[in-house]
Amino acid sequence: MNGTSAEPGTAASDAGPPGLPVASGSETARELWRLSRGYRLRLAATGVLGIVSTGVDLIVSVVIGFLVDRVQAGTADLTTVLTATAVMALSAVLGAAGTALTIVLATRVYHSILAALREQLVDDAMTLPQHLVERVGTGDLISRSSDDVTAVADAAPAVIPVLTVTAFTIVVSLGGLAALEWPYAAAFAVVLPVYVLAVRWYLRIGLGVYRAERTAMSARAQQILESQRGYATVLGFGLAEQRHRAVMTNSWRVARQTLRARTVLSMLNARLNLGECLSLAAVLVVGFVLVDHDASTVGGATTAMLLVLRLLGPVNQLLLVIDTLQSALASLSRMIGVVTIPRGSPDVPAQAASTDVRLDEVSFRYGEGPRVLDDITLGIPSGQRVAVVGVSGAGKTTLAGVVAGTHLPEAGRVTRPSRTAMITQEVHVFAGTLRDNLTLAAPGATDHDLRAALEATGAASILDVLPDRLDTLLGVGGYPLTDAQAQQLALARLLLTDAELVILDEATAEAGSTYAGHLDRAADAVLAGRTAVVVAHRLSQAATCDRIMVMERGRIIETGTHGELIDAGGVYAGLWTAWEAAR
């Protein structure tokens, strides 16, 4: 329904809160292989086309070597030159066309797989256990579904052409060297470990560096998001400077990680330059020895050098985008980390066969802090409405979160119905039409159902002031709703879910006393016939419930009906007296 509020906690450490899991290389490969189902034949055809195109493109080097030998032998004439020129032009055109088509096909497959992954990421992110999202913070999840998706998508134009050309060029060039004279291939193969070790070093170091950079970005996003969401609190308590320092600290951490990534890239550049120098030197020396012993021709040595130069060009291009590739791989592993989170954790509250709610010896604490709930045992029969009251800090909101599954107890067992919905006092109006806001809870609801829900919660009058009624845009840039109207909308949305258990955590507290009666009546309509837990801000709302529980320091100290607790003359009676006096 609406986002739930975490209890106040301590400030994040310098390392930041633990984030969502990051997929390993093998997990990423397995998930990509699964997502490629349906595209594998197309990928195979793309590979064949790429090899053929690259092979055709390398004909130019062979023809130049042929011309060098004919010129040296004195047998070259105008026909030879024109024929060689025509062959080179044709091979260049066909090779370029084939390479372009290969890149187009590879890009289409890439974006199709990425679209499937993005859809699965959104689907899985929306069904993550609430307690998990609350623990790691929403900043990490937002960063993965925005920054990381963007990084992977933006990498396509730079990475795919270079990767495609480089992979096929290496394969075909090595084959061409071996077919020309095996010593040329052997000379390059001797130097090849320099490239292999350089890339292996970078893959070992670089991926961790980029993951650290992305993690730092997530921590920064979390700090910015918390500052925005708690804007009123920040101003009210004079915390602007403190929040500014927190954002700046995380921003400098991002800068340090980014600088570290660029340093690693420069070190890779030096290693690859060494490999390039050794490759050219090795082929030149071998060519000189072979020509000197009449084992090869000058044209053959020329062809070998051109093939090596042809090979080094794509490798250098790869160098220019390898940081983008590593960043994209780091983002990809973070996206797949969300997709591969196991569902159905045994810690999730058990689903009751009926609409009863049961807590057995439940305890809970935030992090390493003191217990907020201490050995709570209670049962709520089907259809009963229970109010939870107590002074601030008694544990009311935490108890509601444990029942809803937002918080997992450190001890004990929670049993609740499968269809459970919760509204907190921080109701949210989504950017979209009024119809969109309501059908989020019931996608199959008709306009008649939507109007009935609005009427039941006393919100039908909203339609009269909206210029386009159900089609009126709300949220950012749309028609502004008052706090009371937003809460009525949230209650109507909850009514449409037809939940078996409804939890209201001071869900009608923000509208003030002017609209208190309207919202209490709307809440009554939503709770009618349902099992309910109501964290009551106004004791008048608690008095209408079937049973009232009074909490103090994480324990239930009184329970009974309104009349029974008044007659007992305990804590609730004192709260009621103070409430009546304030009214």
**Considering only CA atoms, which of 353, 374, 391, 400 is closest in space to residue 532?**
400
* pLDDT tier for residue 8 given thresholds of 50, 70 and 90: very low
Query: What six digits make up the tokens of 377?
Result: 């045992």
Percent of the chain with pLDDT over 90: 0
State which of 339, 358, 378 marks the end of a domain. Answer: 339
Calculate mean pLDDT across residues 47-65.
80
CATH of the domain at 158: 1.20.1560.10
Question: What pLDDT is stored for residue 326 in this prediction?
Answer: 74
Question: What pLDDT is stored for residue 133 in this prediction?
Answer: 66
Calculate mean pLDDT across residues 260-280.
81
Question: What pLDDT is stored for residue 510 in this prediction?
Answer: 52
Q: Following CA atoms 75, 77, 80, 86 in sequence, which dihedral angle do they give, to the nearest 10 degrees?
A: 150
For residue 3, tell me if it sits in a domain: no
For residue 470, tell me if it sits in a domain: yes
* pLDDT tier for residue 304 given thresholds of 50, 70 and 90: confident
CA distance 95 to 451: 64
Residues 291 and 416 in one domain: no
CATH of the domain at 500: 3.40.50.300
Question: What pLDDT is stored for residue 347 in this prediction?
Answer: 47
Query: What six digits make up the tokens of 424?
Result: 């907190």
Percent of the chain with pLDDT over 70: 87
Distances (CA, A) of 230 to 5, 135, 336, 492: 11, 18, 30, 26
Residues 291 and 404 in one domain: no
User: Which residue in the block uniquely carries the two structure tokens 């003030």?
Assistant: 512
Question: What pLDDT is stored for residue 80 in this prediction?
Answer: 82
Question: What pLDDT is stored for residue 3 in this prediction?
Answer: 37
For residue 5, tell me if it sits in a domain: no
User: Which residue in the block uniquely carries the two structure tokens 């490798």?
Assistant: 315
Highest mean pLDDT among 100-109, 143-152, 319-328, 507-516: 100-109
Domain that holds residue 562: 350-582
Residues 278 and 164 in one domain: yes
CA distance 522 to 458: 6
Residues 323 and 364 in one domain: no
Residues 331 and 355 in one domain: no
Residues 429 and 494 in one domain: yes
* pLDDT tier for residue 316 given thresholds of 50, 70 and 90: low
Residues 422 and 288 in one domain: no
Q: From edge to edge, which strands make up the β-sheet containing 501-505? A: 420-424, 501-505, 531-535, 385-389, 547-552, 555-560
The phi, psi pair for 348, rounded to 5°, reads: -65, 140
* pLDDT tier for residue 320 given thresholds of 50, 70 and 90: low
| pLDDT tens profile 27-53 | 888 888 888 888 888 888 888 888 888
- Number of Cα atoms under 13 Å in the Cβ half of residue 550: 21
Handedness of CA 440, 446, 450, 456 (dihedral sign): negative
| pLDDT tens profile 420-466 | 888 777 777 777 787 888 887 777 778 888 888 888 877 777 787 77
* pLDDT tier for residue 178 given thresholds of 50, 70 and 90: confident
For residue 10, tell me if it sits in a domain: no
State which of 339, 362, 381 marks the end of a domain. Answer: 339
Query: What six digits make up the tokens of 480?
Result: 């502004």
State which of 320, 339, 358 marks the end of a domain. Answer: 339
Residues 315 and 378 in one domain: no
Strands 531-535, 501-505: pairing is parallel
For residue 2, tell me if it sits in a domain: no
**pLDDT at residue 14 greater than cutoff 50:** no
Per 3-state DSSP, the chain is made up of helix, strand and coil in percentages (nearest 5) of 65, 10, 25
| pLDDT tens profile 209-263 | 877 887 788 788 878 877 777 777 777 677 788 788 888 888 888 888 888 888 8
Name the DSSP class of 471: G
| pLDDT tens profile 131-155 | 666 666 666 777 777 778 887 887 7
Ordered DSSP codes for 266-323 = HHHHHHHHHHHHHHHHHHHHHHHHHHHTTSS-HHHHHHHHHHHHHHHHHHHHHHHHHH
Cβ proximity of 3 and 428 under 8 Å: yes
Residues 82 and 205 in one domain: yes
Q: Following CA atoms 171, 174, 179, 184 in sequence, which dihedral angle do they give, to the nearest 10 degrees?
A: 180
Residues 127 and 225 in one domain: yes
Residue type, 76: A
How many folded domains does the chain comprise?
Answer: 2
For residue 20, tell me if it sits in a domain: no
* pLDDT tier for residue 499 given thresholds of 50, 70 and 90: confident
Q: What three-state secondary structure class fits 24?
A: coil
| pLDDT tens profile 379-426 | 888 888 888 888 877 888 888 888 887 788 888 888 888 788 887 777
First-last CA distance in the chain: 32
* pLDDT tier for residue 583 given thresholds of 50, 70 and 90: low
Q: Across all residues in the chain, what is the average pLDDT?
A: 78
Calculate mean pLDDT across residues 309-333.
75
| pLDDT tens profile 528-562 | 878 888 888 778 778 888 888 888 888 888 888 88
Q: What three-state secondary structure class fits 388?
A: strand
Cβ proximity of 555 and 563 under 8 Å: no
**pLDDT at residue 512 greater than cutoff 60:** no
Question: What pLDDT is stored for residue 153 in this prediction?
Answer: 81
Q: Which position has the higher pLDDT, 157 or 254? A: 254
